[in-house]
Structure 1
């Protein structure tokens, strides 16, 4: 009777990993992957929010990451929600993702709201160094059954 009990084992999460080009064409591909991942398993995380935040992360990586290396999208479905990571070749942290800037974005500028959206709409977010650059991530919780659209 050595080893973990059956109830101690959690189901392994489903995950998807795809390399994306370091171009704006990566954004719709990333959105489609997230949409497909959540729909295939009828996952209960908010798909619209997941798509929006994924598009923001990928667009930021395309626009701001130094280097021409590929961007990698990782989508992980967990029992408590989902986590999306975008890996890029630039080790520099992503601006004010975890430390908000002083003041509001300029309403007349086209840019400057992506990280604000990620902070506001995700249950948590952050970044971490990787062997080839960094990963920027967000998590979304599951949506209670009674609040899901039919």
Structure 2
């Protein structure tokens, strides 16, 4: 694998794309990229929520796909918010993301809440097929200036 492919597209919006290792080490790297992207442009999306939901998507991609193919993180900053996508090689969609289960997660289960968090905290979320697998995404709206934490 060559070094990370990181780019910024000149326009009213900005995008970053990076290949991440298919390991748990990808989670903090993805969080740092989202934090940096939102901070450098003084973007209005909630950075803490963006980091949390990004960590969930990356962790799911690592845990629920087989092989060692890299996963890819795409962060797009838009005037009205941001969109984060995680691409992985598994074409199976995460059905619980768009078709939530009626049953509540067991309080004793260690997992099973990530997609619930993504549905609850994002303005929209979903998945789409890609040539090499799928992309799972979420969007966050921009927070008005006066409501942002100092």
For normalisation by structure 1, the TM-score amounts to 0.91
Whether the aligned pair in 1 keeps the contact of 2:17 and 2:75 (CA below 8 Å) is yes
| 1:16 maps to 2:20 | no
Q: Deviations over 1:101-133 (max 9, x none)?
A: 011001101100000000000000000000000
Answer yes or no: is the 8 Å Cα contact 1:67–1:90 preserved in 2. Answer: no
1:59 aligns with 2:59: yes
Larger radius of gyration: 1
Aligned partners of 1:103 and 1:80: how far apart in 2?
Answer: 34
What is the rounded CA distance, in whole Å, between the counterparts of 2:68 and 2:98 in structure 1? 25
What is the alpha-carbon root mean square deviation over aligned residues? 0.8
Contact 1:125 1:138 in 2 (8 A): yes
Give, in whole Å, the separation in 1 of the partners of 2:95 and 2:109: 17
1:77 aligns with 2:77: yes
SS at match of 1:75: strand
Structure 2 residue aligned with 1:143: 143
Q: CA deviation at 1:12?
A: 3.6
Partner residue in 2 for 1:89: 89
In structure 2, the gaps of 5 or more residues are 1-10
Give the Å deviation of 1:32. Answer: 0.2
Runs of 4+ in 1 over 3 A off after TM superposition: none
CA contact (8 A) 1:93 1:127 kept: yes
| Distance in 1 (alpha carbons) for counterparts of 2:68 and 2:133 | 12
1:65 Cα deviation from its structure 2 partner: 1.4
